[in-house]
Amino acid sequence: MRHWMISFVLVGFASCTATAPLDETAALEKGKRITSATFQALSARLSAAMQAGGPARAVEYCSLNALPLVDSISVAEGVHIKRTSDRLRAVHDSPDADEKRALQVMLDQWAQGNAGTVLSDVRMLGDSVAYYQPILIASPTCLKCHGTAGLDLDSNAFAVITQHYPEDAATGYALGELRGMWSIRWKN
């Protein structure tokens, strides 16, 4: 009788703590929706700052407001949103171990000339879902803050970058290059 009770309690406990299987299609859709909304919100505000004061004003805006904006969307969506790269602008965007793994896969695909195959990735990390999506330098406007000094990087923006981000490594990009990735995580 006791063995049966212990087994029942253990099975009941295990079913309460088991993680649901990953619905990859739904997770990819959710991740894409959140990254799209976050990108649109951030882009709209950066565009407004750029129109108000050029690329230097956009960098200033980003240094003060991008993280709080992304954090507010994270809270509203019940997820954790982060932008990361192998070439960081802000230290708080440093990739964790799994982000480094996903980013390296994307960078390897890119380096092999497979730009079209650098795709979003979704996976389970314990009881959480991790969604990763590449960030590309998609517009000449991006180069005003992420381009090459003396070429397309705005000199006033570069001065603000060096002031706010003394260890910046997020310049020197060309149009169409892989800039980094979005990392979105949520409980499964």
Q: Are 188 and 20 in contact (CB under 8 A)?
A: yes
Q: In this predicted structure, what is the pLDDT of residue 4? A: 42
Residue type, 19: T
Q: In this predicted structure, what is the pLDDT of residue 18? A: 60
Report the alpha-carbon distance of residue 123 to residue 97 in Å, rounded.
14
Burial readout 139-162 (b: 16 or more C-beta within 10 A, e: otherwise): eebbbbbbbeeeebbbeebbebbe
Q: In this predicted structure, what is the pLDDT of residue 17? A: 53
Q: In this predicted structure, what is the pLDDT of residue 119? A: 82
Whole-number average pLDDT of the chain? 89
Counting residues of the chain whose pLDDT is more than 70, the rounded percentage is 89
Three-class SS of 116-129: HHCCCEEEEECCEE
Q: Are 99 and 134 in contact (CB under 8 A)?
A: no
pLDDT digits (tens, 9 = 90+) for 102-122: 999 999 988 888 766 778 899
Q: In this predicted structure, what is the pLDDT of residue 25? A: 94
Q: What is the pTM of this model?
A: 0.86
Q: In this predicted structure, what is the pLDDT of residue 9? A: 43
Side-chain-facing half-sphere of 141: CA atoms under 13 Å: 13
Q: In this predicted structure, what is the pLDDT of residue 73? A: 97
Q: Which pLDDT band, with edges at 50, 70 and 90, does 79 fall under?
A: very high
